Amino acid sequence: MKRFLSLFLALLFAIPCSAENYLLNGGQESKIQYEMVQKVQPSSNTRKLILNYVVPESFDSPTYRQKIEQFDIRFSPPPDDRSQIVDKRGNKVIEATWKSPSEPISTIISLTAINSVVLKHVETDAPFPLVDMPEEAGSYLKPTPQVNIKNKKIIAKAHELTSSAKTEFDAVQKILTWVVDHMRFIVNPQNYDAVYSLEHGRGNCQNYSHLSAALMRAVGIPVRIVNGITLKQPYDIKTDKTILTMKMAQSRHSWIEVYFPDLSWVPFDPQGSELFVSNRFIRVEVGIDNRETEKDGLMRWTRLKGTTGRPTLSESIDANFESDKIKLEATKTDYGPRELLLCPRVETAFARVKTKPLPPPPTKILEKELKKLTYSIPFLFGNLEFPENIDFLSARGPAVESPDGTMTIRKNFLVETAEYVTTKGQQYAQTFILKKPIKLQKISLALHKFNNEGQLWIELYEDKNGMPGKLVSTSDFLSLGEVPFTPGYRWVDFTFPDTEIKLSPGRYWAALGFTGSPIVNWFYSYGKPVGPQDGTRYKTIFDKTWSRSISFEFNYRVMGLSAKTR
């Protein structure tokens, strides 16, 4: 007998009592004018330059629909040769070649995307294990170096996770639930394959996609890798107590599509914690892994023998939402992973596994006891990992030389995840939880400035019911002119005039204040690498409380001296 899973977006918050799984109703529909501009500066020794692009196609699934209109690609100067092929995965690939280019080359790709998320019930009776699959789906069961389904650890974990599954959706949601809890997002991992991801529990969107694909293929579920673009336009989800804002970086992204015999291909985004994809996605290219889905954005060249120069490439994306209809409302359940997970409304048989309670919060120490302690141990805590001083516009991976001397640079997934935090009428706050008493010295934020106007400071608050409460202290004001310009993001330190701020174990908030006209971005990490799911908040001038929550976590660090306690 079917059990009804009414999920649209299963939003799971890691708070002390349990996970919070929200069932969401509503939908998304947008008309988007999209443009990507690439600029290549050939080096003086470039003999031939080849650029590849994939034409985005319309796509229809039970949860996500993409309709592409008015696609256009323009080159300046025109290439010496241009061709188009359809590869074995059905991707339409445009290849443009310039012979001995001496001037800058620009490519402008423009299109209209009419994207929607469909909130009707999705019904599936697909059994597990699967049987009698068509040839197209079966080709996405093969192993690759990036999706090594023959690895013993991959096989063991896949069978462990799906041993009790009776339907395909049950197996899929068990695997993706585990991946969401197991993986931590970092911008620039050492490797991107599934085995590295399983062993280290960290990576970018490629790692999430490869690990999910490997675990599913290892138990006979076809999965293909999708490459495309995510757009930075945020959207809100209304819950009983708060408004949750979802946002992705405007950049290249990798996700997956899973084959169901009765549904065909259904998109999922493991790194974005979604068992669907939102309409902020532009779907471009598919393949068996990210190495195969390399054609869009691929740059190759040959050079004079014995020389070492290379072309430079920069890429910018712009998206104008001509219309944007969003209505999403969520109610709470009591099952799922600790980390945030989003899922379509599905009707099928599956096992609802309740999340184990989290450890209790740290025990608070009275102020008079804090004063008696000796603070002498260097203390550093926070969401510390982010790519410092990187110019995201032109950053590219290493060039690889083939036996015939052709040099290749593939697209990368180095994403600039940042929020404009000095917009008028809004203020942002990041929580941190101390497990030991400290004497605070400074708090640092990962910032990038765009001008020299105005001042910044940090307001330190105690926690009250999961939101900023009583003000503890305010940092010294920092003139933006004192912050040096850098290519990317760097730590900016805020010190406090009160040199005797002694904090008990517990939960606190650092809120960024500003005056004048500063233009500042604050870098963030996808998901919640360090803190609880409700630990990043903002308020508008119309809000009486900090009732608006954000799905990501800002990069911050708390520095000081800790005390020895029994």
The secondary element (H helix, E strand) that includes residue 294 is: none
**Beta strand 506-515 pairing with 426-434:** antiparallel
Is residue 564 within 8 Å of residue 534, measured between CB atoms? no
Terminal alpha carbon distance of the chain: 55
Q: What local confidence, expressed as pLDDT, does residue 361 receive? A: 81
> Which class for 65: exposed (0-12), middle (13-18), buried (19 or more C-beta within 10 A)?
middle
Alpha carbon distance 319, 278 (integer Å)? 15
Alpha carbon distance 143, 149 (integer Å)? 5
Q: What local confidence, expressed as pLDDT, does residue 344 receive? A: 64
Is residue 438 within 8 Å of residue 375, measured between CB atoms? yes
Query: pLDDT by residue for the chain (566 residues), tens digit each?
Result: 333 333 333 333 333 334 445 666 778 999 999 999 999 999 999 999 999 999 999 999 988 999 999 999 999 999 999 999 999 999 999 999 999 999 999 999 999 999 998 767 788 989 999 988 899 899 999 999 999 999 999 999 999 999 999 999 999 989 998 998 899 998 889 999 999 999 999 999 999 999 999 999 999 999 999 999 999 999 998 877 788 898 999 999 999 999 999 999 999 999 876 677 899 999 999 999 999 999 999 999 999 887 888 898 989 999 999 999 998 877 666 666 667 666 666 777 766 666 666 678 888 888 889 999 999 999 999 999 999 988 887 667 778 888 888 999 888 888 899 999 999 889 999 999 999 999 999 999 999 999 999 999 999 999 999 999 999 999 999 999 999 988 899 999 999 998 889 999 999 999 999 999 999 999 999 988 999 989 999 999 888 899 899 989 999 999 999 987 66
- Closest by alpha carbon to 370, among 115, 195, 512, 563? 563
Alpha carbon distance 147, 428 (integer Å)? 39
Is residue 78 within 8 Å of residue 19, measured between CB atoms? no
Q: What local confidence, expressed as pLDDT, does residue 7 receive? A: 35
Q: What local confidence, expressed as pLDDT, does residue 354 receive? A: 63
The secondary element (H helix, E strand) that includes residue 367 is: helix 367-372
Q: What local confidence, expressed as pLDDT, does residue 405 receive? A: 85
Tokens representing 365 are: 């120490």
Predicted model pTM: 0.90
Q: What local confidence, expressed as pLDDT, does residue 394 receive? A: 67
Is residue 530 within 8 Å of residue 382, measured between CB atoms? yes
What is the DSSP track for 481-502? GGSPP-SSBEEEEEE-S-TT-E
Q: What local confidence, expressed as pLDDT, does residue 509 receive? A: 98
**Beta strand 346-348 pairing with 122-123:** parallel
CATH architecture classification, 28-116+296-322: Sandwich (2.60)
- Write down the domain spans for the chain: 3-27+124-293+326-348, 28-116+296-322, 367-563
Alpha carbon distance 149, 552 (integer Å)? 31
Q: What local confidence, expressed as pLDDT, does residue 332 receive? A: 67
Fold annotation for 3-27+124-293+326-348: C8orf32 fold (3.10.620)
Q: What local confidence, expressed as pLDDT, does residue 337 receive? A: 62
Alpha carbon distance 16, 317 (integer Å)? 40
CATH code for the structural domain at 367-563? 2.60.120.260
Q: Where are the alpha helices (DSSP H) in 135-220?
A: 135-138, 152-162, 168-182, 194-200, 205-217
Q: What local confidence, expressed as pLDDT, does residue 6 receive? A: 35
Alpha carbon distance 358, 340 (integer Å)? 15
- Closest by alpha carbon to 102, among 44, 173, 59? 44
C-alpha angle 239/240/244, rounded to 5°? 30
